Amino acid sequence: MDRRAILRLAVGIPFLGVGGIVRPGQAEHLVKPVAAAARPPAALRTPRLVMIDPGHGGKDPGAIGHAGTYEKDVTLDLAKELALQLRKTQGLNAGLTREDDHFLELGERVDVAREAKADLFLSIHADSAPNANARGLSAYTLSEKASDAFSQALADKENYADRLGLDLKHTKPVVADILMDLATRRTKAASLVARQGIVRGAGRDLRLLENPMRSANFVVLKAPDIPSVLVETGFLSNRQDEALLRDPAQRKRIAGILARELATLLASPTFA
Ligand SMILES: [Zn+2]
């Protein structure tokens, strides 16, 4: 685990090393790297990378609107436009989990983001809602229920470390525990900050769904070390949303608003 990774883990979690977590005699192993972990210089962290995930693709069309709009096409176009605007107008790095119409498993999408060491994972969707009147943008983080199951699944330390990408072979068990706990805590907190920033910011210009900040058990949001948000840009089951989402000019506008809000978010000190 390199210094940069330690810094990234520790930033935004100032309470590490507070009594009660650290037992006597173990503090020196823990406190040193963390006490030294001031916020890294901006040059170390920029340009930050957003991994954009266009939902569905290939054999999986996603939702299909009344006018025959495929969700997989809307999400791909929105994601490409968003990546373009992040790079060109916001000076950020942007990647795509898929750049064409092919099928990707959910785990593969997460893997792409983790391999790229993305600062944020953003999955783009435009699904069907049970109620045809439901319309507007909403954003999801992983639900508490899923987080609990997630925590249980990660109880196996070696599997957890493996998924986290940390080299803990030479790390004392208590330090490994705390670093892993910190990583998930940071990820959850940053995901909530991201969801709030996107919804509040985009809501100034775009119609929002009722209770637009939501959580659910989306597999694609389960990266343990990358803040992750799934944005439902609207619902193809709603005729007005479908009309909006199938209009290239409107998609460009939505992408521009999301790009603006992501840039604001990534520059915010509350998003570690
Ligand atoms: Zn979808």
Instruction: Please report the pLDDT score of residue 147 as a whole number.
Output: 33
Ordered structural domains, the chain, with CATH: 3-11+46-271 (3.40.630.40)
What tens-digit pLDDT sequence spans the chain (272 residues)?
A: 454 554 454 444 433 333 333 344 443 344 333 333 344 444 455 789 999 999 999 999 999 999 999 999 999 999 999 999 999 999 999 999 999 999 998 889 999 999 999 999 999 999 988 889 999 999 999 875 633 232 233 223 323 333 445 555 566 677 777 777 788 888 999 999 999 999 999 999 999 998 899 888 788 888 989 999 999 999 999 999 999 999 999 999 999 999 999 999 999 988 86
What's the 177 CA to ligand 1 centre distance in angstroms? 35
Instruction: Please report the pLDDT score of residue 168 as a whole number.
Output: 56
Given a contact cutoff of 8 angstroms between Cβ atoms, the answer to whether 246 and 67 are in contact is yes
Enumerate the β-bridge partners of residue 60.
57
Whole-structure pTM value: 0.75
Instruction: Please report the pLDDT score of residue 148 as a whole number.
Output: 29
Q: Residues within 5 Å of ion ligand 1 by Cβ? A: 55, 62, 125, 127
What's the 44 CA to ligand 1 centre distance in angstroms? 35
- C-alpha separations of 20 from 156, 157, 169, 171, 179 in Å: 23, 21, 25, 20, 15
What's the 96 CA to ligand 1 centre distance in angstroms? 16
What's the 186 CA to ligand 1 centre distance in angstroms? 26
Q: Edge-to-edge strands of the sheet including 137-142?
A: 93-96, 49-54, 120-125, 228-232, 137-142, 208-216
Given a contact cutoff of 8 angstroms between Cβ atoms, the answer to whether 193 and 124 are in contact is no
What's the 244 CA to ligand 1 centre distance in angstroms? 16
Instruction: Please report the pLDDT score of residue 167 as a whole number.
Output: 57
* SS3 state of residue 34: helix
